[in-house]
Amino acid sequence: MPPEEEHRIDVHLDQLLEARGITLTDLANRVGITLANLSILKNGRARAIRFSTLTALCDALNCQPADLFTVRTSSQSIVES
């Protein structure tokens, strides 16, 4: 995928935080990453995530990676653009 092409990953961190009554600041403290980096991930602007960070997020939110992320089909991307 060329670097200028937009990704099709949707991040569901807002929904998980709301469902669990946790703030982004609380999650950042629990996971051990900066609030700024967690915000970048939440807003879908992250370019990568370490498995250790993903594991810590899943542990803190009591979820699976598929609860955090989904992949839009290319037809969904065209319709939404």
Q: Which CATH number fits domain 9-76: 2.40.10.350, 3.40.50.1370, 1.10.260.40, 1.10.287.3510?
A: 1.10.260.40
| pLDDT tens per residue across span 65-80 | 999 999 998 866 555 5
Contact 37, 45 (CB under 8 A): no
pLDDT in tens, 42-61: 999 999 999 999 999 999 99
In 10 A of CB 27, how many CB atoms? 21
Are residues 20 and 61 in contact, defined by beta-carbon separation less than 8 angstroms?
yes
63 — pLDDT class (breaks 50, 70, 90): very high
User: Per-residue confidence at 7, pLDDT binned at 50, 70, 90?
Assistant: confident
Predicted structure pTM score: 0.82
